[in-house]
Structure 1
Amino acid sequence: MTRAETAYHGEKGEYFAANATDSAYNAYTDRPAMLGLAGNVAGLRVLDVGCGAGHYAAELRGRGAAAVVGVEGSETLLRAAHERLGDGAELHHHDLERPLTFLRDGSFDLVVMALVYHHIDARDQLLLELRRVLRPGGALVVSTTHPASDWTSFGGSYFADERVELPIGNEFTIRYWRMTLEKFLGELLGAGFVLQQLVEPRATEEAREIDPRRYEKTHAKPSFLAVRMRRP
């Protein structure tokens, strides 16, 4: 299997595995919002797409999910997920730019895709695959970078549809697609999903003590956008 360009490998993967544990953005902004949108997962079969170091999978199992299956393109992050989850989840190393042929039709009640969507080139293909593996009435919960945040960060036209590079920490950059709200929702709706809920996550009160600057920032400027979609 070739390396997935959409995944974080090596030292970058190690950085993100560590950072996702307690950062104001990951642990106290995106993750609480996504778990809130997921709702009651007790007894559900859940697919975690781009599962990273297993933080969301661990929370989902802790909240009573009957089974959690994680898919991740980075071997570095997958090792961290194995360490975190042990036998608590079924994990697959797979490039998300390729179809999920190893997953059965209608085999999941819920799909969680946290801060992954904007990295993917083959988004139409991925959405059709997620619709396929969800049972009718199942839910897809997705978070992405906020279009307004990207506009203020990168400038130019709000309607730009382009890959951008964002410095992270002192050593790394990440490349992803900036897209408008219209494009983000349009792709999800075009794949046959129905919008149930949309939120613009802000950091929880716990983040105020851990990182007051970033806490205040998330309450003044949106960072992420998250939605819950239903498969008819």
Structure 2
Amino acid sequence: MRAETAYHGEMGNQFATLATDNAYNAHTDRPAMLRLAGDVKSLRVLDLGCGAGHLAAELLKLGVAQVIGIDGSETLLHAARERLGEGAILHQHDLEEPLTFLQDQSFDLAVMALVYHHIEARAQLLAEIWRVLRPGGYLRVSTTHPTADWNYFGGSYFADDRVELPLGNGFISYRRMPLEMFLGELLGTGFVLDELVEPRATEQARLVDSHRYDKTHRVPLFLTVKLRRP
């Protein structure tokens, strides 16, 4: 993501703490990403926008051979290093730029949790993911649900403008987009859609935040897709 949209400094620290055990990241989005990841034992995984390493940590517990994590925020990468230790190789890199340091067809799985909507150079990023995935490899992507953005920000459902959402003492910036745009970009790259889910919070979220737990079971907040590189 662009330097101005990465979570730096205090915002990065707030997000690293928040994502550890909150209703949305920890108990709605992350379980869906892990379920769609399937059997990851012995796989080489690319974690794009790895943040503080929460998803990478869970993947390592499931037996992946190696995780390569990329994020634009040194603040979040510092938290990821503390969480993962020697379990992952981490790179600070702007996802708006090509992944030139990664070899062709060198990964079995790529994951991108709640990152895609932050990116402007999405066509370039998808082409790079296609390049570094082996044939038959998989991509997992989660994003904000288009109807959730429409309900919150108003205007046209088909808008694809940049919006800001409060986070801690600041705001996060991302691009909302309709479903046809989100899926169209992914499928237009050549990926095949294997599964789409609108995740609801797990029971653990009820203990953390019963209001947000109930909300995820009434209205769609996130969208998660499982894609395959033919």
Structure 2 counterpart of 1:179, from 177, 180, 188: 177
Instruction: Say whether the 8 Å CA contact 2:29–2:222 is kept in structure 1.
Output: yes
Letter in 2 for 1:195: L
1:66 alignment partner in structure 2: 65
Aligned to 1:206: 204
Deviation digits for residues 95-140 of structure 1 (CA, Å, limit 9, x no counterpart): 0000000000000000000000000010000000000000000000
1:229 has 2:227 as partner = yes
What amino acid is aligned across from residue 52 of structure 2 in structure 1? A
CA offset at residue 166 of structure 1?
A: 1.0
What is the CA–CA distance in structure 1 between the aligned matches of 2:117 and 2:4, rounded to whole Å? Answer: 13
Shift of 1:63: 0.3
For residues 46 and 190 of structure 2, what CA distance do their matches in structure 1 show? 18
- Report the counterpart of residue 78 of structure 1 in structure 2: 77
Superposition TM-score, scaled by structure 1 size: 0.97
Deviation at 1:222, TM superposition (A): 1.0
2:38 is the counterpart of 1:39: yes
Q: Could you tell me which residue of structure 1 aligns to residue 149 of structure 2?
A: 150
2:132 maps to amino acid: V
User: Residues 36 and 140 of structure 2 are in contact (CA less than 8 Å); yes or no, is this contact kept in structure 1?
Assistant: yes
Aligned to 2:29: 30
Which structure 2 residue ranges, 5 or more long, are not aligned?
Answer: none
- Alpha-carbon distance in structure 1 between the residues aligned to 2:9 and 2:86: 24
Deviations 1:164-215 (A, max 9, x none): 111123x111110000000000000011100000000110011111111110
- In structure 1, distance between residues paired with 2:19 and 2:5: 17
Q: Secondary structure at the match of 1:22?
A: coil
What is the number of residues matched between the two proteins? Answer: 229
SS at match of 2:86: coil
Q: Which amino acid in 1 is paired with 2:165?
A: L
State the superposition RMSD in angstroms: 0.8
Question: Identity rate of aligned residues, in percent?
Answer: 72
Q: Distance in 1 between matches of 2:67 and 2:189?
A: 24
CA contact (8 A) 1:194 1:230 kept: yes
C-alpha separation between the residues in 1 aligned to 2:110 and 2:145?
A: 20
* Segments ≥4 residues shifted beyond 6 Å: none
1:190 aligns with 2:204: no
Are the aligned partners of 2:5 and 2:172 in contact in 1 as well (CA < 8 Å)? no
